[in-house]
Amino acid sequence: MSDSNISRVEAFYTGRSALVTGGTGFVGKTLIEKLLFSCSGIDKIYVLVRDKYGKKASERLARITSTPAFDRLKARRNEDLKKITVITGDITRANLGLSDNVLNILEDEVSVVFHLAATVAFKLPLKDAIRINVNGTENVIELCRRLKKLQAFVHVSTAFTNSDRKEIDEVVYPMPIKLEDARKVAESFSHKERIIDVFLGKKPNTYTFSKAFAEEQVMKQSEKLPVAIVRPSIVMSALKEPCPGWIDTWNGSTGLFVGMPAGVLKVVKGRGTNITDLIPVDIVSNLIIVAATECKKSKQIKVYNCCSGPSNPITCDGASAICRRVALKHSLNSLPCPFLIFTPNVILYKILTFVLQIIPAYIIDFWCMLMRKKATQMKLQGRLKKIIDAVKFFLLNEWKFSDRNVRNLLESMSAVDREAFNFDVKTINWVSCLEDYVLGARKYLLKPEK
CA distance 17 to 194: 46
pLDDT of residue 332: 85
CA distance 293 to 286: 11
pLDDT per residue as tens digits for the range 59-88: 777 877 888 999 999 999 999 999 999 998
Domains of the chain (ranges, CATH numbers): 3-239+277-311+399-427 (3.40.50.720)
Q: How many CB atoms lie within 10 A of CB 64?
A: 21
Flag the least confident range among 177-186, 188-197, 321-330.
188-197
Q: If you average pLDDT over every residue of the chain, what do you get?
A: 91
pLDDT of residue 449: 44
Q: Which of 185, 187, 182, 114 is nearest to 154 (CA)?
A: 114
The pair phi, psi for residue 280, each rounded to 5°, is: -65, 145
Amino acid at position 180, single letter: E
Q: How confident is the model at residue 141 (pLDDT cuts 50, 70, 90)?
A: very high
174: cis peptide before it, omega within 30°? no
Examine the pLDDT at 299 and tell me if it is beyond 80: no
Helices (H), 51-111: 57-65, 71-77, 100-109
* Mean pLDDT, residues 203-221 taken together: 92
Q: How confident is the model at residue 199 (pLDDT cuts 50, 70, 90)?
A: confident
Give the torsion sign (CA, 91, 96, 97, 98): positive
pLDDT of residue 294: 92
Residues in the chain: 450
pLDDT of residue 96: 93
Q: Which of 272, 266, 249 is nearest to 380 (CA)?
A: 266
pLDDT per residue as tens digits for the range 20-54: 999 989 999 999 999 999 999 999 999 999 876 66
pLDDT per residue as tens digits for the range 340-358: 999 999 999 999 999 999 9
CA distance 373 to 25: 36
Examine the pLDDT at 2 and tell me if it is beyond 50: no
DSSP secondary structure string for all residues of 395-433: HH---EE--HHHHHHHHTS-HHHHHHT---GGG--HHHH
pLDDT of residue 1: 38
* Mean pLDDT, residues 240-255 taken together: 92
Q: How many helices (H) and strands (E) does the chain have?
A: 19, 14
Which residues are bridge partners to 112 per DSSP? 18, 152
Greater confidence (58 vs 394) lies with 394
pLDDT of residue 194: 80
Q: How confident is the model at residue 250 (pLDDT cuts 50, 70, 90)?
A: confident
Greater confidence (300 vs 76) lies with 76
